Amino acid sequence: MSGQGREQGREQGREQGRERNTVKDPVQDAGKDAGKDTPRNAADGRRLRSHQWYGSEGVRSFSHRARTRQLGYLPEEHLGKPVIAILNTWSDINPCHQHLRERAEAVKRGVWQAGGFPLEFPVATLSETFQKPTPMLYRNLLSMETEEVLRSYPVDGAVLMGGCDKTTPALLMGAASADLPAVFVPAGPMLRGHWRGETLGSGTDMWKYWDQKRAGRIGDRELAELECGLARSAGTCMTMGTASTMTSAAEALGVTMPGAAAIPAVDSAHSRMAAAAGRRVVELVHADARISRFLTREAYEDAIATVLALGGSTNAVIHLIAMAGRSRVPLGLDDFDRLARTVPVLADVRPGGRYLMEDFYYAGGLPGLLARLGEAGHLHLERPTVAHDTLREQLAGALVHDEEVIRPLDKPVAGQGGLAVLRGNLAPDGAVIKHISAEPRLLTHTGPAVVFDDYRTMQATINDPALGVTADSVLVLRGAGPLGGPGMPEYGMLPIPDYLLKEGVTDMVRLSDARMSGTSYGACVLHIAPESHVGGPLALVRTGDLITLDVEARTLRLEVDDAELARRRAEWQAPPPRYGRGFGALYQEHITQADTGCDFAFLSREGEVPEPYAG
């Protein structure tokens, strides 16, 4: 495409954006003029990437056109039109995405309306609920699939459909690497849970009532009722778990339709949003507005600020660092800690607050929260989004309807962001804690370590009184990091021993190189880097060692002198490789540590990838 043609496309996109900016309800109406005055002539078609497959006089294009007829399409349905790939992570085993098969039809409707040609591609479904040892093991695999599907097929733009924890970063990582015009469609949260007149939050209340069962406060009958009331509809967890944290981060990055992240999965507004995304991506193709235009340093800083203001999941730290790496944007733990010291928590949503995502949506959703962050100077308002020329225009008119759910700036849930980055001789490359969901008394704490070398051993022995665990103990789990897990499973919310639960203990300091569910809570220090499996200091801790946590000072220290640690290190032996072949072998050879995003080094490094020759 010539520079002149590209500039003409951008100018046309700006003109259409100015028309859209007059819309006051972007969730319902964004993209309603999609396709208006969009060129449909042959010259425009020749500028499309898909023209390489369909437009030449050679035998390959003849074959491509013939095979498209085999699919049942007429020439006028697709020739010269933007081909839009709909990457759908639906599957029968992913309850978070069980409605995405229907939503893909809404996306197709929008693409057809705007004059595009939609093609649905099934890609890997990463189900947090069922996939073992953890879908984090396969996040990078889905990102690779996303990139290569977009690169190898006659695709001009993409709509990315996901939401369950790892699908959002995986799809956006792959799209960033492919760098085509793209819009992300979040799956949306499920409806509130209910049990005996009480409102339930998936994940958060699962942990809470499971502990009550272990403590003997409820029985099997109550637990069976809770199973039926905890998850009532399609959609992701309705707490501010990793799913809603990451879809909110995607909206803050500017790659969704406005307000998309919080729409309940089964609300009719969700179908309208999906159709609007289909219309909008066709416009982005005509304007040659690739996703790299939106995934800038400023956008990633705003995504961090959003996660902090939401009291969001610690998993966002790893994912945003990895996503930024694919966008060639330097981002690290220090960026999170720097912003956490100034950005307040405004969303009173579980597990750190009282309400659920459905309440958050009706209270004004992410546009309402972002508008308040913008007022306080925490956002870069002049950057573009997929729907508007600037974030400032996108947030114009955004309102908060319930100030108990989305707090005013002068009455925040907490004056600083809900995450803290810790360093010290136990975590030289950093660790994180979601201190907003911990008991305040534990944020400065020194106690003796009780060490578990692996999760299975911990499960089998945690309730044994012979271990001598007290409320002051520091529970330590190792062998659960990116390599040791493998895949860094969500083991970080270590269980409190039954006998302490019965005594009324509800929180303890717990350390690991693992992650934890965004729906979890407690004084859990996570992502300790380097992990124990590669010889990080966590591998040297012994039961009885004193460990000091000081969140205010941002320190995590093993109270053992350097000479003793050197002696222990000399005795330490690296575990043997876990995988002898297959994807696991590829994973263990290339995975990076938590502080750099757990990406594959060969995916995030500099280097050109040539366009395939289609003729």
- 143-172 pLDDT, tens digit per residue, is 999 999 999 999 999 999 999 999 999 999
Side by side, which strands form the sheet with 117-122? Answer: 117-122, 83-88, 157-162, 182-186
Cα distance between residue 538 and residue 476, in whole Å: 8
Cα distance between residue 96 and residue 129, in whole Å: 9
Q: What is the DSSP string of 361-395?
A: HHTTHHHHHHHHHHHTT-S-TTS--SSSS-HHHHH
Local structure of 430: helix, strand or coil: strand
- Whether 15 shows a pLDDT value over 50: the answer reads no
The owner of tokens 């306080």 is: 376
Residue 96: pLDDT band (50, 70, 90) is very high
Contact assessment for residue 111 and residue 77, using Cβ atoms and an 8 Å cutoff: no
Percentage of the chain lying above the pLDDT 90 cut: 91
Query: What kind of fold does domain 420-571 have according to CATH?
Result: Glucose Oxidase; domain 1 (3.50.30)
Q: What is the pLDDT of residues 203-219, one digit of tens each?
A: 889 989 999 999 999 99
pTM: 0.92
pLDDT for the residue 9: 39
pLDDT for the residue 30: 43
**Checking DSSP bridges between strand 509-512 and strand 474-477, what pairing results, if any?**
parallel
- Out of 20-24, 198-202, 574-578, which region has the weakest mean confidence (pLDDT)? 20-24
Q: What is the pLDDT of residues 424-472, one digit of tens each?
A: 999 999 999 999 999 999 999 999 999 999 999 999 999 999 999 999 9
Q: What is the DSSP string of 472-502?
A: T-EEEE-S-STTTTTS--S--SPPPPHHHHH
pLDDT for the residue 44: 67
pLDDT for the residue 382: 98
Query: Among 117, 143, 144, which Cα is nearest to 50's?
Result: 117
Q: What is the pLDDT of residues 99-158, one digit of tens each?
A: 999 999 999 999 999 999 999 999 999 999 999 999 999 999 999 999 999 999 999 999
Query: How large is the average pLDDT for residues 257-266?
Result: 98
Backbone φ and ψ of 270, nearest 5°: -70, -40
CATH 3.50.30.80 in the chain is located at 420-571
Mean pLDDT value across the chain:
93
**Checking DSSP bridges between strand 117-122 and strand 83-88, what pairing results, if any?**
parallel
Contact assessment for residue 165 and residue 135, using Cβ atoms and an 8 Å cutoff: yes
Cα distance between residue 233 and residue 230, in whole Å: 10
